[in-house]
Amino acid sequence: MQAHIYDIDFKAAAEEEKLTRHDVMAHVHVFAKLCPLAAPIIHLGATSCFVGDNTDLIILRDGLDILQYKIAAVIQNLAIFCEEFKSVPALGFTHLQPAQLTTVGKRATLWLFDLLMDERALRRAKEDLRFRSTKGTTGTQASFLQLFNGDGEKVKALDKRVAELSGFNNTYPVTGQTYTRKVDVEVISVLASLGSTIHKMCSDLRLLANMKEIEEPFEKSQIGSSAMPYKRNPMRSERCCALARHLISLFSNAANTHAVQWMERTLDDSANRRLTLAEAFLTADAALITLTNITQGLVVYPQVIQRRINQELPFMSAENIIMAMVKKGGDRQVCHEKIRVLSQEAGNQVKIFGKENDLLDRVRADPYFAPIFGDLDKILDPYTYIGRAPEQVTEFLESEVKPVLELYDISKITKPVNLTI
């Protein structure tokens, strides 16, 4: 058996399966022909789920390990980005309407924190996995108890040893014929949650690309549109969103499959799981590879960002202007009314006539505001509107991101990813 463990005749197994209509037994028969002395005891006491379920658990474990390194690569790229742009002011948005300023790096920490949650969830899901091991046909271990002549301790020892040889420290204490499909629900939920993170981040990038503030990598010879040669479509981010939506949708398959597993098991899980589990991991893998490429080459346009700040900052400065006037002896209510009127007039210039925001010109032209004319430049300095954003980024990277990246071999996550499709 040891000598022929890798001599798998898939063609012969496929022909055998046509006859038996059973994938595991087809391989048992083909393997038995290679090992005639062992043929009488191959699969003795086992069920097909001893083969299939235990194998699935190994694959789930190894798949989660692969994805952990992929997500670590994205985390590292974003951490570098956050540090580089932590002090670059940018217009914030709530309800997709202009709001108080943030910074380019601070906004990126919002994506990064979600990814840290996903990394933690992937790590926990892998750590929580156990092995089905030798539980028998309906989970009672009856066949193995018979093989060991009623010695329950030997049955328990076998269960533990098979798990250890397969790289698991623990086994599921109770099972039916299968390990509970709730395990699949937990794993797929983690991947679906990752999908929501990727979709949110890449949607933001697509919006920022529309604003011409940040762009994903765009090659010299890349074509954005077959009809409109000037276009620079965010196709990588769009691809991530497409993959992420599919990934999110797979959760319902896992949950519904678990919900209909009658008693010790039914077989309507099998075909569904072969699609759902494979697609979930392949989809997450493809999305993370694409996201790694995106985060390696994000392009920021500070002048565009500054222009947008200049368009909105006059309105945002209204409260600071009022406070400055009060400090100079002005009446808060009078000042508020004057600013309100001037703001409405400036707003009409922007919305009705398509002109630039001229609120500050109106303030400078009103003698009432003469006491603060010399302070207006300071009042309008964008850096006075970003709060502790730069410090928040620094503290976040040090306290939250660094400990996570230290869990990984950096040499495995620093390779550049070039997409050719």
Q: Which is catalytic among the residues 203, 225, 270, 317? A: 225
Q: Which is catalytic among the residues 95, 221, 226, 399? A: 95
Supply 44's token pair: 């003795």
For the chain, what is the radius of gyration of the CA atoms?
Answer: 31
CB hemisphere CA count around 304 (13 angstroms):
12
Which residues make Cβ contacts (< 8 Å) with residue 29, sequence separation at least 6?
16, 20
DSSP tag of 89: E
CA 246 from chain center: how many Å? 13
Backbone angles phi, psi at 102, to 5 degrees: -130, -155
The DSSP-derived string for 36-81 is TTTTTTTTTT--HHHHHHHHHHHHHHHHHHHHHHHHHHHHHHHHHH
Supply 20's token pair: 């038996």
CA 36 from chain center: how many Å? 49
CA 140 from chain center: how many Å? 39
CB hemisphere CA count around 369 (13 angstroms):
24
Any catalytic annotation for residue 225? yes
Which residues make Cβ contacts (< 8 Å) with residue 305, sequence separation at least 6?
88, 89, 90, 91, 104, 213
The 3-state DSSP class for residue 90 equals: strand
Supply 185's token pair: 């629900």
Number of H helices, E strands in the chain: 16, 4
Report the interhelical angle of 302-316 vs 332-351 (nearest 10°). 130
Residue corresponding to tokens 């190994």: 58
Check if the beta carbon of residue 141 is closer than 8 Å to that of residue 134. yes
Supply 250's token pair: 């797979």
Q: Give the Å distances, CA to CA, from 86 to 27, 47, 108, 418.
A: 58, 57, 9, 26
The DSSP-derived string for 186-216 is HHHHHHHHHHHHHHHHHHHHHHHHHTTSEE-
User: What residues act catalytically?
Assistant: 95, 225
